[in-house]
Structure 1
Amino acid sequence: MSTPATERRTGGEWLQNWDPENEETWDSGRAWSTLWITTFTLTLCFITWFLPSAIVPRLNALGYEFTQGQLYWMAAMPGLAAGLLRIVWMVLPPVLGTRKMVAITTFLLVFPLLGWGVRVQEPTAPYWELMVLAFLAGIGGGAFSGFMPSTSYFFPKRMQGTALGLQAGLGNFGVSLVQLLTPWLIGFGMLGFLGNSQSMEMAGQANQEVWYQNAAFFWIPFCLIGAALAWWMLKSVPIKANIRQQFDIFSNVDTWLMTLLYIMTFGTFSGLSAQFGLLMQNLYGSGNPDIVQGTGPEAQMLIEGYAVPNALALVFLGPLVGAGARVLFSPLTDRMGGAIWTLISGLGLIGSIAFTMTALVPDTSSASALDAGFDRFLWGMLAIFLFAGIGNASTFKQMPMIFERRQAGGVIGWTAAIAAFGPFLFGIGLTLMSPTTFYAIGIAFAVMCVIITWVRYARPGAPKPG
Structure 2
Amino acid sequence: MNVDATTGPAPAATAPAAGVGWPRTKGSWIHGWDAEDTQQWEGGGRAIATRNLRWSIACEFLGFVVWQLWSIVVVYLPAAGFHFSSAELFWLISMPSLTGATLRIPYTFMVARFGGRNWTITSALLLLVPTLGLAACTANPGTPFGVMLAVAALAGLGGGNFASSMANITHFFPAREKGWALGLNAAGGNLGAAVAQLMVPVAVTALAAGTLGLPLAGLVWVPLIALAAWGAWKYMDNLSGATSDIAGSLACLKEPHLWILALLYVGTFGSFIGFSAVFPKLIVDSFGPHVGFTLGTATISLAFLGALVGSLARPYGGRLADRWGGARVTVACFAILALTALAQLLTLPLGSFPLFIALFLVLFAAAGAGNGSTYRMIPVVFALRSRSRDGGPDGGPGGGPGGGPARRAAAALGLISALGAYGGFLVPQVLNASRLATGSYAGAFTGFVAAYLLLMAVTWFTYLRRSPAASLAGI
The match for 1:227 is 229
Choose the corresponding residue for 2:38, options 23, 36, 43: 23
> Residues 95 and 242 of structure 1: is their aligned pair in 2 closer, same or farther, counting only changes over 3 Å?
farther
Alpha carbons 2:249, 2:415 under 8 Å: kept: no
Alpha carbons 1:95, 1:242 under 8 Å: kept: no
The match for 1:366 is none
Choose the corresponding residue for 1:342, options 303, 310, 330: 330
What is the alpha-carbon distance in structure 2 between the residues aligned to residue 247 and residue 9 of structure 1? 32
Q: Flag structure 1 segments of 5+ consecutive residues without an equivalent.
A: 1-6, 198-207, 287-306, 363-368
The answer to whether 1:390 aligns with 2:392 is: no
Q: How far is 1:340 from its partner?
A: 2.8
The answer to whether 1:442 aligns with 2:460 is: no
Relative to the length of structure 2, the TM-score reads 0.81
Q: For 1:265-301, what per-residue CA distance to the aligned partner results, in whole angstroms no more than 9, with x for missing partners?
A: 1000000011111122222326xxxxxxxxxxxxxxx
Q: For 1:233-277, what per-residue CA distance to the aligned partner results, in whole angstroms no more than 9, with x for missing partners?
A: 222332344535432211222211110111111000000011111
Q: How far is 1:24 from its partner?
A: 3.3
The match for 2:150 is 132
The answer to whether 1:254 aligns with 2:257 is: yes
Choose the corresponding residue for 2:74, options 32, 37, 56: 56
Counterpart amino acid of 2:165? F
What is the alpha-carbon distance in structure 1 between the residues aligned to residue 373 and residue 70 of structure 2? 28
Alpha carbons 1:338, 1:395 under 8 Å: kept: yes
Comparing 418-427 and 448-457, the one that deviates more: 448-457
What is the alpha-carbon distance in structure 2 between the residues aligned to residue 252 and residue 52 of structure 1? 36
> Residues 280 and 419 of structure 1: is their aligned pair in 2 closer, same or farther, counting only changes over 3 Å?
same
Aligned residues: 415
Q: Flag structure 2 segments of 5+ consecutive residues without an equivalent.
A: 1-6, 11-25, 294-298, 383-404, 436-440
Alpha carbons 1:78, 1:134 under 8 Å: kept: yes
1:344-363 → structure 2 map (5 Å cutoff): 344-360=332-348, 362=349
What is the alpha-carbon distance in structure 2 between the residues aligned to residue 8 and residue 279 of structure 1? 56
1:35-184 → structure 2 map (5 Å cutoff): 35-184=53-202
Alpha carbons 2:321, 2:329 under 8 Å: kept: yes
Alpha carbons 2:109, 2:244 under 8 Å: kept: no
Please give the secondary structure, in 1, of the residue aligned with 2:82: coil
Alpha carbons 1:157, 1:401 under 8 Å: kept: no
Q: How far is 1:401 from its partner?
A: 2.9
What is the alpha-carbon distance in structure 2 between the residues aligned to residue 314 and residue 395 of structure 1? 28
Q: How far is 1:155 from its partner?
A: 2.1
% same residue: 31
What is the alpha-carbon distance in structure 2 between the residues aligned to residue 459 and residue 17 of structure 1? 44
Q: How far is 1:460 from its partner?
A: 6.8
Q: For 1:41-73, what per-residue CA distance to the aligned partner results, in whole angstroms no more than 9, with x for missing partners?
A: 100000000001110111011011111111011
Counterpart amino acid of 1:323? S
Relative to the length of structure 1, the TM-score reads 0.82
> Residues 20 and 453 of structure 1: is their aligned pair in 2 closer, same or farther, counting only changes over 3 Å?
farther
The match for 2:387 is none
Q: For 1:409-431, what per-residue CA distance to the aligned partner results, in whole angstroms no more than 9, with x for missing partners?
A: 22121111122222321222122
The answer to whether 1:453 aligns with 2:455 is: no
Q: For 1:381-400, what per-residue CA distance to the aligned partner results, in whole angstroms no more than 9, with x for missing partners?
A: 11110000001111222223
Alpha carbons 1:14, 1:236 under 8 Å: kept: yes
The match for 2:426 is 425
Q: For 1:3-49, what per-residue CA distance to the aligned partner results, in whole angstroms no more than 9, with x for missing partners?
A: xxxx9999964433333333333322222222111111100000000
Q: For 1:184-243, what per-residue CA distance to the aligned partner results, in whole angstroms no more than 9, with x for missing partners?
A: 222334xx6xxxx7xxxxxxxxxx623222221111111111112222322233234453
Q: For 1:434-465, what per-residue CA distance to the aligned partner results, in whole angstroms no more than 9, with x for missing partners?
A: 42222222222222322233343346796345
Comparing 398-407 and 12-21, the one that deviates more: 12-21
Alpha carbons 1:330, 1:394 under 8 Å: kept: yes
CA-based RMSD of the aligned residues comes to: 2.5
The answer to whether 1:264 aligns with 2:271 is: no
Q: For 1:154-187, what per-residue CA distance to the aligned partner results, in whole angstroms no more than 9, with x for missing partners?
A: 2233333322211111211100101011122223
Alpha carbons 1:158, 1:334 under 8 Å: kept: no
Q: How far is 1:357 from its partner?
A: 1.2
What is the alpha-carbon distance in structure 2 between the residues aligned to residue 432 and residue 316 of structure 1? 24
What is the alpha-carbon distance in structure 1 between the residues aligned to residue 214 and residue 275 of structure 2? 23
What is the alpha-carbon distance in structure 2 between the residues aligned to residue 51 and residue 274 of structure 1? 9
Alpha carbons 1:285, 1:309 under 8 Å: kept: no
Instruction: Between the two structures, name the one with larger relative contact order (CA 8 Å, sep ≥ 6).
Output: 1
What is the alpha-carbon distance in structure 1 between the residues aligned to residue 221 and residue 424 of structure 2? 22
What is the alpha-carbon distance in structure 1 between the residues aligned to residue 162 and residue 67 of structure 2? 11
Alpha carbons 1:79, 1:424 under 8 Å: kept: yes
